[in-house]
């Protein structure tokens, strides 16, 4: 009986997939976005009239209000989801380096978020390579009381398979081993400086952390081979509890309203530029998908929530607040799938954390390619961290996004830097993100059967281990299993 029941379920699933003919709706979405998309113009207005969108700042509040107003103007029920965060912003920063403590010279640098409110440290500089645990255990006393010099990504020439930890994770390791400060070398040529959080939990760290340019950093590594080097890190920053707001627009489902598809992107940005790429192209694509659904009066079986998260840059604070609120109101089980758009541009296919979605995703993609052959119907099953999907994935919820595209105008080098400006945005590529992703959203919201469900605790543990996420989660203090 059990075998027969499984067989019947399989037939139901196959039948459901076969009925997923969404070509007419996909064509409507394509025409609307190509002719009427407002993603480019509204993002342009935001960068010109608001500037950066740092969570907790007046600019951040303006961005929240702007997104709310846009979604309201498209005909949605819109609400704020307020939450309290420990905000951080830079005030002063000076980094000096030299071969004696009395001959230090200023090196261009930028403070990393959640560095102490006030810090003044002068100490010997120690090259800690990639900044991984293995770089410290070779000589556990080497860095204690000194300033660690660490490469942001993975150094050229490193052993195959060397993990590329996040800057916050590398900072946590340095703190664990007693470093008095950390200098992180950006991997981008031309002296580009990168900011971002140095904290794994959105709280102040105990040591100053700064980023310096590639050329300065690699020169330092060479100097350290021949003679000692010293560094002085002096900075002041602001930190305090503030209120921020996710912005949520809801499209009620007609036949499965208690099932929910969440599509989101983080609205906030760092303060060095206007955050047009990170994450203007993602968040304003989500807003424009919402516009298109209303403009076309599209109906969905499942309820769709369009969510603009704040606080992502400081440690996924807005998505964590969303999850906390859903648990409080016993609504988390309603979320059947989460689509996250963070620096997604001109996708050529779809990616998901769950391999079981391949048949459906590629089936839908095969209905997109006749509309536009630029869509290649690529598929990938992958799982990573450090964007708002993480908060959902760690609850066992299936997540997905676009894949196969490239950032416009070689803009990846300006990630988290003062070069992340609107001039980098490509209008047609942004339209491509909107139209293909709106099609994926429509299909997810209307397919009779979603063949994946929320993972059990043990299933999730095995999944995270299989995707090599145990180590970074342990470093961040987010691994909840004892073995």
Q: How many CA atoms lie within 13 A of 72 on its CB side?
A: 10
Task: Specify the residue for token string 């075998």.
Answer: 3
Domain 90-237 in CATH 3.50.30.30? The answer is yes
Burial class (CB in 10 A: 0-12, 13-18, 19+), 101: middle
Whether residue 11 is predicted with pLDDT greater than 70 in this model: the reply is no
Does the pLDDT value for residue 464 go beyond 70? yes
Q: Say what percent of the chain tops pLDDT 90.
A: 93
CATH topology assigned to domain 23-86+241-475: Aminopeptidase (3.40.630)
230-251 vs 302-309, strand pairing mode = antiparallel
* Helix pair 358-368, 23-36: axis angle to 10 deg: 60
Residue-wise pLDDT for 75-130, tens only, equals 999 999 999 988 899 999 999 999 998 899 999 999 999 999 999 999 999 999 99
CA distance 341 to 393: 14
This prediction has a pTM of: 0.92
pLDDT digits (tens, 9 = 90+) for 413-454: 999 999 999 999 999 999 999 999 999 999 999 999 999 999
Q: Give ranges for CATH 3.50.30.30 in the chain.
A: 90-237
User: Can you give the pLDDT at residue 9?
Assistant: 41
User: Under DSSP, is residue 394 helix (H, G, I), strand (E, B) or coil?
Assistant: coil
Tens digit of each residue's pLDDT (9 = 90 or more) over 247-272: 999 999 999 999 999 999 999 999 99
Tell me if 309 sits within 8 A of 265, measured CB to CB: yes
pLDDT at 6 over 70: no
- Reported as a single tens digit per residue, the pLDDT across 293-308 is 999 999 999 999 999 9
Query: How many angstroms separate the CA atoms of 206 and 119, rounded?
Result: 9
Query: Where exactly does CATH 3.40.630.10 map onto the chain?
Result: 23-86+241-475
**Nearest CA-CA partner of 164 in 319, 341, 386:** 386
């Amino acid at each position: 009986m059990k075998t027969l029941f499984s067989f019947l379920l399989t037939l139901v699933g196959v039948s459901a997939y076969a009925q997923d003919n969404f070509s007419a709706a996909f064509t409507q979405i394509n025409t609307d976005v190509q002719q009427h998309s407002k993603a480019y113009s509204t993002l342009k207005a935001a960068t010109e009239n608001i500037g950066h969108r740092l969570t907790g700042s007046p600019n951040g509040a303006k961005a929240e209000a702007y997104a709310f107003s846009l979604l309201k103007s498209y005909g949605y029920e819109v609400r704020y989801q307020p939450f309290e965060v420990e905000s951080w912003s830079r005030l002063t920063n000076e980094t000096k380096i030299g071969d004696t403590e009395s001959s230090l010279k200023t090196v261009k640098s930028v403070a990393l978020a959640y560095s102490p409110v006030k810090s003044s440290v002068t100490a010997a500089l120690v090259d800690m390579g990639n900044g991984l645990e293995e770089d410290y255990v070779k000589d556990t006393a080497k860095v204690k009381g000194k300033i660690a010099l660490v490469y942001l990504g993975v150094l050229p020439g490193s052993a195959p398979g060397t993990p590329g930890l996040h800057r916050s994770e590398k900072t946590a390791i340095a703190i664990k081993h007693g470093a008095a400060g950390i200098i992180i070398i950006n991997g981008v040529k031309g002296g580009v400086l990168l900011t971002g959080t140095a904290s794994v939990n959105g709280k102040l760290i105990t040591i100053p952390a700064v980023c310096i340019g590639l050329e300065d950093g690699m020169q330092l590594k060479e100097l350290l081979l021949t003679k000692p080097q010293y560094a002085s890190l002096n900075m002041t920053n602001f930190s305090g509890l503030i209120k921020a707001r996710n912005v949520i627009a809801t499209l009620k489902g007609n036949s499965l309203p208690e099932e929910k598809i969440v599509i989101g992107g983080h609205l906030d940005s760092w303060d060095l530029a206007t955050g047009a790429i990170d994450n203007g192209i993602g968040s304003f694509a989500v807003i424009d998908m919402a516009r298109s659904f209303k403009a076309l009066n599209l109906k969905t079986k499942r309820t769709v929530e369009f969510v603009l998260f704040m606080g992502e840059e400081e440690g996924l604070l807005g998505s964590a607040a969303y999850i906390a609120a859903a648990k409080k109101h016993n609504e988390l089980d309603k979320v059947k799938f989460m689509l996250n758009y963070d620096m997604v541009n001109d996708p050529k296919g779809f990616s998901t954390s769950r391999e079981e979605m391949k048949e459906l995703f590629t089936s839908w993609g095969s209905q997109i390619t006749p509309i536009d052959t630029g869509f290649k119907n690529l598929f990938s099953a992958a799982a990573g961290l450090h964007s708002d999907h993480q908060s959902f994935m760690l609850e066992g919820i299936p997540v997905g996004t676009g894949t196969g595209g490239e950032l416009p105008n070689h803009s990846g080098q300006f990630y988290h830097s003062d070069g992340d400006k609107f001039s980098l945005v490509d209008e047609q590529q942004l339209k491509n993100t909107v139209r293909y992703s709106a099609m994926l959203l429509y299909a997810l919201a209307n397919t009779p059967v979603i063949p994946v469900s929320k993972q059990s605790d043990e299933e999730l543990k095995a999944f995270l281990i299989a995707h090599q996420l145990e180590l970074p989660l342990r470093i961040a203090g987010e691994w909840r299993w004892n073995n």
